[in-house]
Chain A
Amino acid sequence: MKVLSALVAVAVLVLIAAIGTGLAPLQYVFGVVVPYAAFAVFVAGFVYRVAKWAKSAVPYRIPTTCGQQKSLDWVKHSKLEAPHTTGQVVVRMLLEVFLFRSLFRNTRTNLEDDDDGGKKLVYTSSKWLWLGGITFHLAFFTIVLRHLRFFTEPVPFLVQSVEGVDGFFQMTLPALYQTDLVIVGALTYLFLRRLFDPKVRYISLANDYFPLLLILSIAATGILMRHVWRVDVVGIKELAMGLASFSPTVPDGIGTLFYIHLFLVSTLVAYFPFSKLMHLAGVFMSPTRNLPNNSREVHHVNPWNYDVKVHTYAEYEDEFREVMKAAELPVEKE
C-alpha cells in the first residue's frame, strides 16, 4: 500500500511532465519556471531547516563514546571513537560523513540452536547495507558533479576528468558511465531490501519508498535519454546555460523525455528540505557525534540552565538531628 502510493506518486509526476510538454506546449513552464521554483524552494527550505535546528540548544555534551576515553597517560586513548579535542572530532565526523563508519559496524543477529537444546544469539558482520548506502551516495555525488558540464562553459577540468574516469571503459557509444550502473544497482538493492526484509518493510513509510523510486526514475530517464531515445544534447546545454546565467531560453525539439527527467529532478530538489533527505545536513549537527568527550575537563554551558528546587543539608539535618546525634554523627547545630 505504502509502496504503491509512492509508485503512483512518481507515475503521476512522469505523466504531468509528459502531458505538459508532449501534448501541451508548456516547455517554458517545465524547462524554466519549475526548475527555478524548485531551486528556490530548495535553497530557502534547506536554510530554514538548518537554521531551525541551529536555533535549538545543545544543553549537554553527550557524545556516544565507542572507544576508550582519555584519562590516565598510560591508558591508550581512542582518539577516533572517544575524541577529546575538536581536531579529533573533525576526523570522527569526516569518517562518519564520507565513509559511513557507524554503519560499517553493522551486524546481523540470529537466534540459533545451541548444543544443549537451548538457543543462543549469534552476531555476524553485515556490510550490505553499508555497501548499498555508500555506493549509492558516491555514485549520486559523482553524477551531480558530472552534470555540471551542462552548466559551465568551458567545462572545468575537474568535471571533465570525473566524466572521463566515469566513462573510462567505453563499453558503449556514447560511453556508458559506471556510476549509472552503480546507482541503479544500489537503489534497486535498497528498494528490494525495504520491500522484502520483514523488519525494514514493517518500519517503512511511503516517504521511504518515494525518494528511492523518484531517484531511480531520474536515473532511468537519464540513461534512456543517453542510450535509447536520444535527445538533443546541444539544446539541453543551451537551456542549462540559460538557467545558470539567469537568461533562460527554451530551444525547440529537446524531447519530452528530457522534460520528464528535469521535472523529476525538480521534484526531488523541492521535496528535499521537507523530507528525511535532510540527513545530508543533519548528520553534521548530531550531538552524539560532533562533540568531544571531555565534559569532566572542559566546561559545557547550558544556555537555558535554571535553578531547581533542592533539599539542603540544613533541611536534612533539621529532620534527622536527633538520630544523628544518637549515632554520634557530627551535626552543624546542637
Chain B
Amino acid sequence: MAATPKPEELQQIDYTPPEKEWMEVPPSFKPGTWCYAGKPQILEYLGLPNPRKWSPADEDWKFPDNWKNTILEGIRERLLKFRSFHLFMDICVRCGACADKCHFYLGSGDPKNMPVLRAELLRSIYRREFTLTGKIFKKMAGGRELTEEVIKEWFSYFYQCTECRRCSVFCPYGIDTAEITMMGRELLHLIGMNTNWILEPAANCYRMGNHLGIQPHAFKDSLLGLVEDIEMETGIKVDPSFNRKGAEILFITPSADVFAMPAIFTMMGYMMLFHHLDLDVTFSTYASEGGNFGLFTSHEMQKRLNYKMYAEAKRLGVKWILGGECGHMWRVIHQYMGTHWDGCDELEVPVSPVTGTRFEHAKFTKMIHICEFTADLIKNNKLKLNPKRNDPYRVTFHDSCNPARGMGFFEEPRYVIENVANNFFEMPENTIREQTFCCGAGTGLNTDEFMEMRMRGGYPRASALKYVAGKHDVNLMATICAIDKATLDALVKYWIPEVEIGGVHELVGNALEMEGQNDRETNLRGEPLPVEPSESPPAAEGGEAGAEGGEA
C-alpha cells in the first residue's frame, strides 16, 4: 500500500488543466488512487461474469472475448431502461456549472473528476456509436472509439465518484452523475471489471446477512458485549431480542453499528432507547445489514440484497420496520425498495407505540428512520433528556449525501441533536444540507488502498470542519451514516485530529435519563463527565433542549 502524502503536500492542488486534450490523456494507476480488483471466487459466488485474477496496475486486464459488443449492447439496453441515462447522455450543454462542485475534483484538481467530464467519458462513446452526428462527424462531434484504454479510464473515474449527487443540485437540467456512474459501473461489471471492496461485502451480505460477514452467533455476541458496556456506563442491563417472531417492530441498521468504532456507540444509544421505551422490537441476524453494497454494483444486485428486509419482516410477522442511521441504506429504502417489491402488504403503516403518531409519509414502504421516530418522541415529551451530559462536546452535524439529496432529510436529525446537546454549531452553508460534501469514500470506496483519493475527496468536508473547529471549538462531528462514521474517522485523523466522529443516537444515549440508572459519571465512550450527578430532573438552563425534556 502506498504511503499517503502529508496534508501539507495534498493541499497543494493545481486546478490548471493539462495542455493535452482530455481524450489524449491516458488514465494512470498510481497507488492510492484505485481499489483492488474483485477476487474470482467472490465473482463466482455472486454469479458475475469474467472471474479471474487481475489488477488495475497490470497492463493486461484480461478482457473477455467480444467485450466491445457486450459493452455496446449493455449501453443499448440501459438507454431503454433508464430515461435518466438516455437523457443525460443527450442534453448536457457543458456549461461547467458542475465543474467545481465535486469533492474529488476540488481535492485532486484532475479535470476528469469534474462531473461533466466524468460523464463525457461515457458520452463520447455514446455519441460515436448511438447518434447520427457522432457516426458521421466522429471526433468532430465529440465521439471516440471504444478501446481498452477507454474501459480503463471508466474504471478509474467511475470508482472515483461516490454518487453523492452534489453536482445534480447545481445542474440546470438536473443531470445526476450518480446515474452515470451507476451505469458506468454496471457496464464494467458486464466484462468483469470491478473492485473487491464492494463485491466481498455484497457477497457476505448475500450469504450471511451483513457486509462484515458476521455469522448469527457472533452478531448476537457482539450486541451482548455492548449490553455489558451499557451496563457499565449506566448500571442498566438492556435486553435485546433476536429473530423474535411476533415482535411489533423489526430494527435494521448497518452491521458496522455492531462492532465498528465509533458506530458501536450509536448502537448503544439505540439499545438504551428501546429498553427505556420497552419497545417491542427485535434484531434479526438474517436481515442484519441496513446498508446495501448492491447499490454500488448494479440495480439487480441492489434488489438481491434488499430482499431480506421485507422477507424477514414477513417471516417474523412484525408490523413495520425501523431503520438505523445510515446513508446509502436510506437512498435504497426511500427511492428504490417500494418499487423493487411493489410494496409489502403484509406490513402495516408505521405507528409509534409510544406517541401514537402515524407515519403517513411511509405508508407505502412501511419503514421509518430512527431519527424520525426519536424526533417524534422528543416532540411529544416522551423522553427525559439531560443534554448536559453532552456538554463536553461542541457538536456539528455532517449531512450524509444520500439522506440529504436522495431523501430531503435535514430537520429530523438536527431537531434531535438540538434537544440532546447544548452546543451545536453549523458548518458554512455551502457545505451542509443539500450542498453537503461527501466524506470522500462513499459507494464502497472506503478501503485503505484508496487512501490518497479518500483524503483528497474528503478535503472539502475537512476544510469546512476545520473552519468551525477554529471558530467554535467544535470537537465532535455527528453524522447519521455508518460509512461516514468509519471514513470520517480516518479523515479527521488525517486533516483535523482534534475532532471526533459520533452518531446522533450516541448523543441521545448520553442524554437519555433512564429509570434506575446510576450516577452516569461517564459518557458512552467511558469518558468521565464533568457534570454533577443528580437524581432530580435536569435544570432547564439548556434552553429549549432542557425545557422540552418533560415527562418520561
Contact = CB atoms under 8 A, between A and B. Distances in A.
A206 interface: yes
Contacts of A330: 242-245
Interface string B120-147: 1000000000011100000011100000
Interface string B235-277: 0000000111100000000000000000000000000000000
Given A60-B339, A62-B84, A202-B111, A308 B303 contact: yes
Given A286-B173, A309-B304, A329-B285, A68 B411 contact: yes
Contacts of A121: 106, 459-460, 463-464
Contact of B364 (A67, A282, A297): A297
Contacts, number: 319
Contacts of B85: 56
Given A118-B7, A282-B91, A324 B216 contact: yes
Main secondary structure of the interface of B (DSSP, over half): helix
B335 A329 contact: no
A304 interface: yes
A147 interface: no
A144 B550 CA distance: 65
B83 interface: yes
A73 to B, nearest CB: 9
Contacts of B17: 198-199, 201-202
Contacts of B90: 49, 53, 276, 278, 282
Contact of B220 (A54, A108, A118, A329): A329
Contacts of B114: 199, 203
B311 A75 contact: no
Contact of B207 (A96, A202, A304, A319): A319
A288 B460 contact: no
Given A59-B82, A70-B361, A305 B339 contact: yes
A294 B339 CA distance: 12
Contacts of A304: 81
Contact of B304 (A203, A276, A283, A308): A308
B339 A59 contact: yes
Most B C-beta atoms less than 10 A away, residue of A75, A203, A300, A312 = A203
B172 A96 contact: yes
Interface stretch (B163-171, B441-449, B509-517): B163-171
A305 B340 CA distance: 7
Interface stretch (B64-72, B94-102, B540-548): B94-102
B96 A199 contact: yes
Interface stretch (A99-107, A249-257, A261-269): A99-107
Most B C-beta atoms less than 10 A away, residue of A59, A282, A295 = A295
B361 A205 contact: no
B335 A61 contact: yes
B11 A312 contact: no
Interface string A307-322: 0111111001101100
Contacts of B375: 72, 75
A85 B221 CA distance: 46
A56 B176 contact: no
A279 B142 contact: no
Nearest to A118: B11
Contact of B339 (A61, A282, A323): A61
Contacts of B99: 199-200, 203
Given A111-B15, A123-B431, A327-B217, A298 B133 contact: no
B84 A120 contact: no
B422 interface: no
B343 interface: yes
Given A64-B176, A78-B408, A296 B364 contact: yes
A35 B132 CA distance: 21
A301 interface: yes
Most B C-beta atoms less than 10 A away, residue of A55, A120, A285 = A120
A317 B207 CA distance: 10
Given A204-B94, A278-B90, A69 B215 contact: no
A203 B120 contact: yes
A311 B206 contact: yes
Most A C-beta atoms less than 10 A away, residue of B87, B142, B170 = B87
Interface residues of B, number: 121
Interface in A7-64: 49, 52-62, 64
Interface in B316-345: 333-336, 338-340, 342-343
Most B C-beta atoms less than 10 A away, residue of A57, A120, A202, A324 = A202
B174 interface: yes
B216 A312 contact: no
Most A C-beta atoms less than 10 A away, residue of B131, B173, B376 = B173
B175 interface: yes
A82 interface: yes
B357 A5 contact: no
B285 A288 contact: no
Contacts of A49: 90
Contact of A288 (B81, B84, B404): B84
Nearest to A108: B100
B15 to A, nearest CB: 7
A297 B95 contact: no
A82 B361 CA distance: 13
Contact of B335 (A62, A199, A305): A62
Contacts of B343: 299
B120 A279 contact: no
B171 A102 contact: yes
Given A69-B408, A207-B141, A283 B91 contact: yes
A293 interface: yes
Interface string B275-302: 0000000000110000000000001100
B16 interface: yes
B94 A199 contact: no
A40 to B, nearest CB: 16
Interface string A140-168: 00000000000000000000000000000
A274 interface: yes
Contacts of B463: 119-121
Contacts of A289: 173-174
B111 A66 contact: no
Interface string B190-226: 0000000000000000111100000111001100000
Given A295-B334, A305-B340, A205 B362 contact: no
A54 B330 CA distance: 29
Interface string B352-396: 000001011111110100001001100100000000000000000
A316 B209 contact: yes
Given A103-B97, A300-B338, A53 B174 contact: no
Nearest to A109: B100
A278 B97 contact: no
A56 B83 contact: yes
Given A65-B408, A204-B94, A310-B308, 13 more contacts: A52-B86, A58-B84, A102-B171, A111-B11, A123-B430, A197-B96, A203-B99, A203-B114, A286-B175, A289-B174, A296-B364, A311-B307, A329-B285
Closest 9 CB pairs of A and B: A69-B408, A65-B408, A327-B217, A82-B408, A282-B91, A123-B430, A288-B174, A56-B83, A289-B174
14 contacts: A56-B86, A58-B83, A61-B335, A62-B176, A105-B170, A111-B15, A118-B11, A120-B467, A198-B16, A202-B17, A202-B117, A286-B87, A288-B84, A310-B308
